[in-house]
Structure 1
Amino acid sequence: MCNHMVVDELDQDGVDRLFAALADRTRRDIVTRVLVREESVSALAERYDMSFAAVQKHVAVLERASLVTKRRHGRERLVRGDVGTIRTAARLLEEYEQVWRGRIDRLGDLLAEPHSPPHTPGDAP
């Protein structure tokens, strides 16, 4: 298993920003939408029961976490999902899974070892 390879790519604060951004349902939905196709902030705002400013704040959190990028197109700001950051998050979760699988494998090895029956008082030695 690699030794914190993905974490080293981001730094601990980057990992915190990434998962904090993904912890919110609206932000996850925004990421899903802009991974499929680029959308303007105003088009995104029309999809949610919240103010334009609130959607702008969600997009800003996603941008700080490198989950989306914005570019100006005329008077609009277009938002696009960053597949590279999603892949980085997936690799980090895979590393956690490998740690978990290693623990399960070690437990399986321990359980597979031959056991002697428990000694009870009064049994002959």
Structure 2
Amino acid sequence: MPAVYAIDLIAKRDKKIKMDRSIIKGWNVHYQTLEEVEEAARAKKRKEEEEARKAKQHQDEQSDADDDEEHRREAYNAKTGSYSGNYGQKPVRDEDQKQQIHAILNEKPEPFEYAMQTLQAQDS
């Protein structure tokens, strides 16, 4: 008994000839399912959000760099030729440093006062 084919060889040949001569080729046509369309939309949205986040991060970094440059320009002391303009203007947060500063400033005020008195006595 011969095999029964749904499409015989002549029909396949005719379909191939028709597809070869047509403008739209069957192998180039892809029908998207709803899931594929939704996934593409989600991927596009994620990509746009990522680009927006990167742009904002870059803008923040740029503004921080501009602020740092402005701070450096303000700190420059032309008289001394150094960046010492902001020295000592920030508050001390470390307790050990605060104790060291207090110890140095209150170390021995008597020799300083004695030296100042002798200088004043010499000037007069």
TM-score of the superposed pair, with normalisation by structure 1: 0.29
Return the structure number with greater strand share: 1
- TM-score (normalizing by structure 2): 0.30
Structure with the bigger percentage of helix:
2
Larger relative contact order, structure 1 or 2 (CA cutoff 8 Å, min sep 6): 1
